[in-house]
Structure 1
Amino acid sequence: MNEPSLSSEQEVLANSDLRLFLQSLAAARSSFSIGLDFGFRGLQVVVGGGKTILQGVTGSVEKGTFFGVMGGSGAGKSTFVNVLTGKLRATKGVVEINGLRCDSGHYKRLCGYVPQDDILLPELTVRENIMHAAKIKLPASWTQGAVCAHVDALLAYLQLAHVQHHMVGDTRHPLISGGQRKRVNIGIELASSPMALFLDEPTSGLDAQSAAAIMRLLRAISRLGITTIVIVHQPREQIFYLFDEILLLARGQAVYLGPTEGAQPYFEGKGFSFPPRINACDTLLDIITGDGSIYASPRSAPASVSTLLRDWQAVNGNDGASDRPSNSVRPKESRQLEAMVRRNHQTGNEGLASLNHTLQGRNTPWIAQLWHCFTRACIQQSRRVTSFVFELGTSALAGAIIGLSAFASNGSLFVGLFKPPFALLSTRVDYLSTPQLALLSAMTIGLVSSPPGFWVFGEEQLLYFREAASGHSRSAYISAKILSTLPRILLSSFHFAAFLDLLATPMLGFGRLYLAIVLYIWCIYGLASMVSVFIRRENGPLAAVLASLAISVFGGVAPTLKQAKEWRMAWLWNSSPGLHFTEAIFSENIMPLDYLYDLDHAADYFGFKLGRYSRDMVLLFVIGAVYRLVAGVSMMYHCKLRHGVRQRLGQYLRSLHHLLGQRR
């Protein structure tokens, strides 16, 4: 698909789409300022093990600036941006917003972050992806019509209106172009009317034309007054000089921070020459990564990277005062557009009180977030018709297979000892048919339901972390995903139970059989969701199947619950949903024969208790809920848990190494 060209900066103020979008931006905030000023002094980040990732970075980013962050791999680019966005707390140093020292993480809902990968929901259209973000992030006081008008203006400004009803697809089956996917990714963040926009290598994976178009779009966004900070690795020269200012990082320290056009003269003054036929950006990267000797000026010896770091730190890293080349005059378009917004507000307060007022307006009620996430999940499932039909078909087939395995019994799934005084007349005993039917059903349900249960959270973890980082309610998202699976659970349970009941003809009623299967599938979905948090997605479905088979084995059939008690491991069986499912099926299937057989003897053979159907159903529900609770809490604190585990493991290994060294 061809990318439409963007308006030039000279035409930006006359653009009607821009003016409509700007009016929406103004309505979404309490301050007349569109962007945020960032100041940072002496930023230092030290991770576990004492490794310094960022050290002594000092400078500022003025509102409405198109700001680039560049450096080699491991230079600290992402760490620097994470500190500004509040995702990471600096070990030392100060971050200021609009001239006031504060916790930048508190204002994350006023910032947008566009990750390097295009994290989109492939089943949704371009408009639906952006609309969801707008409903969640815009002020709760906005009407549906106002939100739609805002999204319409944004789509027009991003030049996506002509594809707004196209599904975005995924990377394997894209339904829109790569450049359009990137614009949708940017639009999701712009939908919240951010005051600052951060992007991680937005041109990666794009052809030269699309990359240039995206960067011109980002420059135009900065001209709206939105502070735009972009991580780039090795841009083309055409893209490099679009930035107003650039920060060059090496070994976690600043080598240069100032106007982009001032970078080349600065390094020429340090003894380097820039060949005319080589991209100046490539030359800069070679210099700051230690390969600058080939660019030595014939008139003087070039400075080493260590010397460059010392020189910049000596001038700019002490008290925050900077002698760096200055380009403090904001772009003309940015000032004009802010003046337009200024006229729409009565107050000129630029302090944190104004920001806090804007921030409070972004608090969409939890119940509203739950509803929006639930409707989005339902739309996703409605467009996965093939997988939904396949799940129902496999459930029906599984029920039919298990039913056929017991078809020859004609419903006679239990034969016990006659009650006294006729016990001596008993000819044979069949205690195993009913619990084996329950065991096979549990194992088959695990095989059928654990893979779709895994994908409830396993497919969207990147999306979840992106939305959570921007201020979405984690619990609302998780609760909505759980609620959206209930129709699937109910329908797949019905298909399984119908064929099982038709062919096996057990003595328990269909309603009780259906409820037991519903609650067992509820447990399997929960278990698979829990597995998805801890296991990589490529191995997840298999791990979920193995976990479901394991809990079915603890159903009390073989080994029996009675044996588990002898081993003092009854707690493991009792914590398994397989036991309560099997006990319920066994009890309800033989209870109608209480007038004829000694049922207590049969129950004692396995260690079951009769007449506890209601208790077993409650426990199945509780166990399934606990699985989901563990999955939800683990997702909510996944990064912290993983960081804590790694930190403790690192401390343990260092202590072990120290101990072994002493013994030697």
Structure 2
Amino acid sequence: MDAPPPDPKRRPPLLSSSFPITLKFMDVTYRAKIVNKHGGRSIRRMFAPSSHQGTNPDTTSLRERTILNGITGMASPGQILAVLGPSGSGKSTLLNAISGRLKGDGLAGTVLANGAKLSKTILRRTGFVSQDDLLYPHLTVRETLVFCSLLRLPTSLSKKEKMEVVDSVISELGLGKCENTIVGNSFVRGVSGGERKRVSIAREVLMNPSLLILDEPTSGLDSTAAQRVVKTLRSLAQKGKTVVTSVHQPSSQAYQEFDAVLLLSDGKCLYFGKGSDAMSYFESIGLTPSFPVNPADFLLDLANDVCQVNGIGERDRPNIKQNLVRSYHTTLAPKVKAACKDSSAKNTNHLIKNRCSSEERGYGHRSNTRDKISFSNWFNQFSILLHRSLKERRHESFNTLRVSQVVASALLAGSLWWHSHYTNIQDRLGLLFFISIFWGVFPAFNSVFAFPQERPIVTKERASGMYTLSSYFTARIVGDLPMELLLPTVFLIVTYWMCGLETDLWAFLLTLLVLLGHVLVCQGLGLALGAAIMDAKQASTAAAVTMLAFVITGGYYVHKVPSCMGWIKYTSTIFYCYRLLISVQYGDGNRISHLLGCSHPHRQTAGAGCKFVEDDVVGQISPLGSTAAMLLMLVVYRLLAYLALKRIKG
């Protein structure tokens, strides 16, 4: 049931203030370097002077590509500016540039908010909605907004006030009917695509932004859902917000909602002005559609240079795009630049800047305080992120497929090694090594995908200043403990007693402790590989090769490893786990030595059992050394994972 609309007289303090922003961008240009190696594929990189000096010119060639070429325009409070253009025209690059997210020496031009350069105060008042919905799929709509409000809203607001903000935003964006439904994604069924997009917008509206920038919010939606999103943007604009959005192919209804339109093609501007004046402008330069058409479709056809005007196709009338660029620079560009420098606009900006200053003394000062508290109150971030991690990852860790896999493996192992005898050494060694392999590979492969999958969400949230990397990393590690340790405990309880291993309770507890430690070490290895490579496929390949090397040198298949390869086994987590499991089951070897008739555990004999006592029970490395090695790897792998994450800026 929808929540009742909040009483305007009792608006939460964060939503009660208005802070209008007039955005101007003049002659915005962005260039990138294209690296061609051996005449092969091109790799686009950020423009950096002399970044490839000294490179062999015979094998590598550089050329410069202009992504944006002198784009000028402005957006005012209460209006929607729509950036139109085909794929690759530079829409996303322009939005990143005017939102302050695009850095580098290749960026030139001027971006002003209320007549001044982008400041921290303005950036705090700017909401950015990316093209992809970066949301946790297993959280409900309300949970998504609640966790965002707890992390992002000022600590000066009480929890009750933050919940009031959430209720207000849910009502404002029409999310009441789906607030208790999980968000979902392409693999998990949840809310509809339009509702998911409105949730992404709601995350930004929580901060009551004065400037809202959206990258293709209607992409992938049907016409009805897209129209609802555009209506939502219109309602936000009517509250005094400045809305800038890129739209790939709007319907005629959606087009009517746009106050201003900026048409791009290959990084060049073809039109900027009122949406209602676009058709008359192109008619004035001799471009009229042959039949009634959606203005947006006609504009996109012009940008794609595939239009048919006055019954003449593009083949018979070439260079339409070049003529459009020339007409814009001679007809519209001077008017646009004059409007950006208009004295009345300056007076308006002066009034807005006065209002800005007053709010900086009020809410703005509180925002600065909030930023400091947000990053100093580490434990608050950790507790919220831990709670969110437990809610989100319980579905992944305890899904039916994973639980069935573990239970089936436990029952299969228990059946194959049913009550194996203490002296049946070969079978028991196989069981202990199987346990070491299974609970080495399983957690390593599960954890290797963690950071590559969450990277886009974490990057976006950290760019918004929601939390620090250390609080996120610690919450992730701590939150994994109950998730990762429950299944191996269930596995061992089933397998241990079915296989008839040492019936002593202390031996069982030691075996469980060794197994859980091994799981945590291998999980840390997977996290480190995933964080270092940050590509799911490449990281899983690296994990497969690493675990294969660990299995081969684990001490079961090969005992005498060549000296040049011997170092590998001392890095193998399976090697140490296997030896500790043997130590728990057979102790120092005296008992099994007596049962097998060996005169002394250290004595070389011809019997295979005595050979096992000498090599595997007594020789090579002590249990204390194995324990110390696993503890060291437990710390080192997680430290490497954190350092790998820290070096990634986005």
Match of 1:653 in 2: none
1:51 aligns with 2:69: no
Match of 1:240 in 2: 255
Q: Distance in 2 between matches of 1:103 and 1:143?
A: 27
Q: Distance in 1 between matches of 2:99 and 2:125?
A: 10
Match of 1:10 in 2: none
Classify the secondary structure of the residue corresponding to 2:81.
Answer: strand
Match of 1:138 in 2: 153
1:214 aligns with 2:229: yes
Match of 1:199 in 2: 214
Decide whether the 8 Å contact of 1:140 with 1:364 is kept in 2. Answer: no
Q: Distance in 1 between matches of 2:272 and 2:301?
A: 17
Decide whether the 8 Å contact of 2:113 with 2:122 is kept in 1. Answer: no
Residue by residue, what CA displacement relative to the aligned partner does 1:72-96 show, whole Å, maximum 9, x if unpaired? 1111011111222333215131333
How far is the alpha carbon of 1:630 from its aligned partner?
4.3
Residue by residue, what CA displacement relative to the aligned partner does 1:246-282 show, whole Å, maximum 9, x if unpaired? 2211111222222222322332232212456111111
| 1:485 to 1:107, Cα distance in 2 relative to 1, 3 A | farther
Match of 1:24 in 2: 14
Match of 1:440 in 2: 434
| Structure 2 counterpart of 1:372, from 384, 403, 406 | 384
1:477 aligns with 2:472: yes
| 1:143 to 1:23, Cα distance in 2 relative to 1, 3 A | closer
Decide whether the 8 Å contact of 2:553 with 2:561 is kept in 1. Answer: no
How far is the alpha carbon of 1:467 from its aligned partner?
2.4
One-letter amino acid matched to 2:386? F
Residue by residue, what CA displacement relative to the aligned partner does 1:170-214 show, whole Å, maximum 9, x if unpaired? 345534333322221211221233332221221223232221121
1:489 aligns with 2:487: no
How far is the alpha carbon of 1:296 from its aligned partner?
7.8
| Structure 1 counterpart of 2:278, from 246, 260, 263 | 263
Decide whether the 8 Å contact of 1:255 with 1:312 is kept in 2. Answer: yes
Decide whether the 8 Å contact of 1:520 with 1:577 is kept in 2. Answer: yes
One-letter amino acid matched to 1:289? N
Q: Distance in 2 between matches of 1:72 and 1:608?
A: 71
How far is the alpha carbon of 1:127 from its aligned partner?
0.6
Classify the secondary structure of the residue corresponding to 1:321.
Answer: helix
Q: Distance in 2 between matches of 1:286 and 1:619?
A: 66
| 1:352 to 1:121, Cα distance in 2 relative to 1, 3 A | closer
How far is the alpha carbon of 1:148 from its aligned partner?
0.5
| Structure 1 counterpart of 2:132, from 117, 123, 132 | 117
How far is the alpha carbon of 1:150 from its aligned partner?
0.7
Q: How is 1:387-426 mapped onto 2 (pairs within 5 angstroms)? A: 387=399, 391-407=402-418, 409-412=420-423
- Quick check: 136-145 or 474-483, which moved more? 474-483
| Structure 1 counterpart of 2:117, from 75, 91, 101 | 101
Counting aligned pairs with the same residue, the percent is 24
Match of 1:598 in 2: 601
Q: How is 1:485-564 mapped onto 2 (pairs within 5 angstroms)? A: 485-502=480-497, 503-506=499-502, 509-530=507-528, 532=530, 534=533, 547-560=546-559, 562-564=560-562
How far is the alpha carbon of 1:16 from its aligned partner?
5.5
Match of 1:418 in 2: none
Match of 2:583 in 1: 587
- Quick check: 474-483 or 34-43, which moved more? 34-43
How far is the alpha carbon of 1:396 from its aligned partner?
4.4
| 1:578 to 1:173, Cα distance in 2 relative to 1, 3 A | closer
1:82 aligns with 2:96: yes
Classify the secondary structure of the residue corresponding to 2:579.
Answer: helix
Q: Distance in 2 between matches of 1:302 and 1:406?
A: 79
| Structure 1 counterpart of 2:337, from 321, 326, 334 | 321
Q: Distance in 2 between matches of 1:623 and 1:67?
A: 54
Decide whether the 8 Å contact of 2:237 with 2:243 is kept in 1. Answer: yes
Q: Distance in 2 between matches of 1:274 and 1:470?
A: 44
Structure 2, unmatched stretches of 5+, are 36-63, 594-599, 605-611
Residue by residue, what CA displacement relative to the aligned partner does 1:147-182 show, whole Å, maximum 9, x if unpaired? 101111111111222332222333455343333222
Q: Distance in 2 between matches of 1:625 and 1:312?
A: 62
Classify the secondary structure of the residue corresponding to 2:473.
Answer: helix
| Structure 2 counterpart of 1:158, from 146, 167, 173 | 173
Q: Distance in 2 between matches of 1:594 and 1:35?
A: 82
Q: How is 1:568-583 mapped onto 2 (pairs within 5 angstroms)? A: 568-583=564-579
TM-score w.r.t. length of structure 2: 0.78
| 1:464 to 1:276, Cα distance in 2 relative to 1, 3 A | same
Q: How is 1:273-352 mapped onto 2 (pairs within 5 angstroms)? A: 273-275=288-290, 277-292=292-307, 294-295=309-310, 304-313=320-329, 321-322=337-338
Match of 2:460 in 1: 466
Decide whether the 8 Å contact of 2:589 with 2:613 is kept in 1. Answer: no
Q: Distance in 2 between matches of 1:276 and 1:326?
A: 38
- Quick check: 629-638 or 87-96, which moved more? 629-638
Decide whether the 8 Å contact of 1:126 with 1:168 is kept in 2. Answer: yes
| 1:54 to 1:68, Cα distance in 2 relative to 1, 3 A | same
| 1:112 to 1:311, Cα distance in 2 relative to 1, 3 A | same
Decide whether the 8 Å contact of 2:420 with 2:428 is kept in 1. Answer: no
How far is the alpha carbon of 1:140 from its aligned partner?
2.0
Structure 1, unmatched stretches of 5+, are 5-14, 415-431, 641-664
Q: Distance in 1 between matches of 2:9 and 2:312?
A: 49
Q: Distance in 2 between matches of 1:353 and 1:195?
A: 17
Classify the secondary structure of the residue corresponding to 1:489.
Answer: helix
Q: Distance in 1 between matches of 2:31 and 2:619?
A: 59
One-letter amino acid matched to 1:411? Y
Residue by residue, what CA displacement relative to the aligned partner does 1:511-535 show, whole Å, maximum 9, x if unpaired? 2211111121113323344555547
Q: Distance in 1 between matches of 2:370 and 2:151?
A: 15
Q: Distance in 1 between matches of 2:529 and 2:231?
A: 43
Structure number with the bigger relative contact order (C-alpha 8 A, sep ≥ 6) is 1
How many residues are treated as equivalent by the alignment?
Answer: 595
Q: Distance in 1 between matches of 2:335 and 2:290?
A: 36
Match of 1:427 in 2: none
| 1:264 to 1:448, Cα distance in 2 relative to 1, 3 A | same
One-letter amino acid matched to 1:43? T
Q: Distance in 1 between matches of 2:214 and 2:417?
A: 60
Residue by residue, what CA displacement relative to the aligned partner does 1:74-123 show, whole Å, maximum 9, x if unpaired? 1101111122233321513133333223478x965543222333333232
Q: Distance in 1 between matches of 2:457 and 2:366?
A: 30
One-letter amino acid matched to 1:119? L
| 1:269 to 1:634, Cα distance in 2 relative to 1, 3 A | farther
Q: Distance in 1 between matches of 2:321 and 2:199?
A: 39
